[in-house]
With several copies, the nearest count.
Chain A
């Protein structure tokens, strides 16, 4: 069994370890669902996986292609509406959500709407919020898994689709978003980031093996806080890799992207 791993496998594994047993998580297709499945097959058998379209706690036979496809309710505990899923999030039931985006800024604000400086004439139009704005507004902790580069880690996102800490500090609560919610971690191919307790700016938590502070800096337009102490990311174990490759994503749809 090959115990070297690619960046995707590392990111999924790190994400999975953040989902403690008994937690509830809303996931999307791709990396998030792979991470949640891996968590369920390792340390968190009682992780409740939910999908924004209405599926709750399926016994996932394979990774879904859509967050609404029939895999998301396969032997599930409940099949309901999109509104009800969002209402559960709004009520404070759901611990985690997983998001991505074309751009992220130092306060964890995400853009998945458009690139360009004129909203009415977008250079590139993306899907928009989908459920991202809802989930990041309402779930307790927002996790972002994304490759890291200068373009993505932008000084200023072209459009705040989805709230992070907005302008940092207490601005998120002042905007009316529920207290004690917000960005929690960003997991990239370079390291794992959290947010500074007061300024709410992005901060290095751990560096992946073989990566340097130079990599961190070179791949972000904004300054990421480097604290005195940070960890080295623990590599995926052979067991984690085995489960990921054999059970979670046997056809390599996600981990094959490297």
Chain B
């Protein structure tokens, strides 16, 4: 197979896949187990800079760190890069904030069964966003390569397609079998924002249900901000070491933020607020209307609690908890 032509994607590689650079960063990063409790505002101020490359946990409308994304919009962070790894409501939010100018896209502008986001499409059709294409698997494995301390992982996806052509992947040959594989460059984000079920003040985190890619994202990213439904004691973490998905040294900031994934679904806790998500779709039809909608819900809310209040507060949350438990 040695005369086979090996193709290379023409998409831009936004972040260096060099594992040694991340090693150098981690060597100098303080890894002590210390109390990392802070506020949403403080965490976004401290750890998210204009131009940073951002990774978001969860799955678009499931276990997303909504409170942190709102703060990114409120603080008018700009020119972010971001990993569109099944990005649905989070993509809507960042598009509403015009927060990014480049994107590794696996799934963007769509809202799964809910349809398509008109405003996310405007953002991506504006010509102001550089896009490199990937598949969900490819982006997952790019995070995993980084989490494993590797510059790349081989895979068998994207081969032969325009998705590959507009990616930054490279074809390689297996040194053992000679078969063609798609090498996926490791993705080391500057900052990750995640929402989890439980964490202690040091950042040891537990997640119920699917992990999506949060464990790998936490290890792959230089800085990690975690909101958690609930702070639990370190003693409780130590009761079930097998349940710790993200260990403390990955985490820079911890914020207790009940209903922090609203209007998304938090597995085992509360279901998504489909009414409010429909309101988003309606508001997005018109740019002026969206501006007002975002102004009301996000910009003029001093914090996430106020946003929750505006959407029905505890009473509404109780309904979503009931919906989650199917009664």
A79 at the interface (CB under 8 A from B): yes
CA distance A126 to B131 in the complex (A): 13
A166-195 near B? 1/0 per residue, CB < 8 Å: 100001100111111000000000000000
Closest chain-A Cβ to B76's Cβ sits at a distance in Å of 24
User: B271 — which chain A residues lie within 8 A by C-beta?
Assistant: 69-70
Q: Given A24-B31, A48-B33, A125-B124, do A67 and B163 touch, yes or no (CB 8 Å)? A: no
User: A69 — which chain B residues lie within 8 A by C-beta?
Assistant: 61-62, 265, 267, 271-272
A49-60 near B? 1/0 per residue, CB < 8 Å: 000111111110
B114-146 near A? 1/0 per residue, CB < 8 Å: 101000010011010000011111101101101
Closest chain-A Cβ to B275's Cβ sits at a distance in Å of 13
Closest chain-A Cβ to B86's Cβ sits at a distance in Å of 7
Closest chain-A Cβ to B319's Cβ sits at a distance in Å of 16
Query: Are A160 and B113 neighbours in the complex by a CB distance under 8 Å?
Result: no
CB-CB nearest in chain B for A52 = B136
Stretch of A84-92, A147-155, A200-208 at the chain-chain interface: A84-92
Closest chain-B Cβ to A134's Cβ sits at a distance in Å of 3
B210 at the interface (CB under 8 A from A): yes
Query: Are B213 and A82 neighbours in the complex by a CB distance under 8 Å?
Result: yes
Query: Are A76 and B134 neighbours in the complex by a CB distance under 8 Å?
Result: no
Q: Given A54-B210, A79-B209, A138-B156, do A129 and B163 touch, yes or no (CB 8 Å)? A: yes
A102-120 near B? 1/0 per residue, CB < 8 Å: 0000000100010000011
CA distance A131 to B157 in the complex (A): 10
Query: Are B159 and A77 neighbours in the complex by a CB distance under 8 Å?
Result: no
Query: Are B135 and A125 neighbours in the complex by a CB distance under 8 Å?
Result: no
User: A122 — which chain B residues lie within 8 A by C-beta?
Assistant: 124-125
Is chain A's binding surface mostly helix, strand, loop or mixed?
A: loop
Tell me how many residue pairs across A and B have CB atoms closer than 8 Å: 287
CA distance A163 to B182 in the complex (A): 14
Interface size of B by CB at 8 A reads: 92
A219 at the interface (CB under 8 A from B): no
Query: Are B212 and A65 neighbours in the complex by a CB distance under 8 Å?
Result: no
Closest chain-A Cβ to B229's Cβ sits at a distance in Å of 14
A6-48 near B? 1/0 per residue, CB < 8 Å: 0000000000000001111000111000000000000000101
Which residues of B1-57 are within 8 A (CB) of A?
19-20, 22-27, 30-33
Partner of A90, one of B114, B148, B213, B248: B148
User: B147 — which chain A residues lie within 8 A by C-beta?
Assistant: 87, 91
Query: Are B159 and A22 neighbours in the complex by a CB distance under 8 Å?
Result: no
A127 at the interface (CB under 8 A from B): yes
Query: Are A91 and B113 neighbours in the complex by a CB distance under 8 Å?
Result: no
Closest chain-A Cβ to B154's Cβ sits at a distance in Å of 10
Query: Are A92 and B135 neighbours in the complex by a CB distance under 8 Å?
Result: no
Query: Are B157 and A133 neighbours in the complex by a CB distance under 8 Å?
Result: yes
A236 at the interface (CB under 8 A from B): no
Closest chain-A Cβ to B128's Cβ sits at a distance in Å of 11
CB-CB nearest in chain A for B188 = A91
User: B114 — which chain A residues lie within 8 A by C-beta?
Assistant: 65
Query: Are B133 and A138 neighbours in the complex by a CB distance under 8 Å?
Result: no
Query: Are B31 and A77 neighbours in the complex by a CB distance under 8 Å?
Result: no
Query: Are B244 and A161 neighbours in the complex by a CB distance under 8 Å?
Result: no
A72 at the interface (CB under 8 A from B): yes
- Taking each of B107, B109, B135, B150, which has the highest tally of chain A beta carbons within 10 Å of its own beta carbon? B135
User: A98 — which chain B residues lie within 8 A by C-beta?
Assistant: none
Would you list the 6 A-B pairs with minimal beta carbon distance, nearest first? A92-B23, A175-B160, A176-B180, A54-B210, A127-B110, A90-B149
Taking A83-B141, A90-B19 as given, write out 20 further A-B residue pairs in contact, using a Cβ cutoff of 8 Å, ordered by the A residue number.
A69-B265, A69-B272, A75-B241, A77-B244, A77-B248, A78-B247, A81-B213, A91-B146, A92-B23, A93-B31, A121-B127, A124-B121, A125-B109, A127-B108, A131-B136, A132-B135, A134-B138, A134-B157, A138-B137, A160-B162
A-B residue pairs in contact (CB < 8 Å), sample of 22? A22-B32, A28-B112, A52-B136, A55-B209, A56-B241, A66-B60, A66-B272, A69-B61, A70-B271, A77-B237, A77-B244, A81-B216, A82-B136, A82-B210, A127-B107, A128-B105, A128-B107, A128-B108, A128-B134, A129-B133, A137-B157, A162-B163
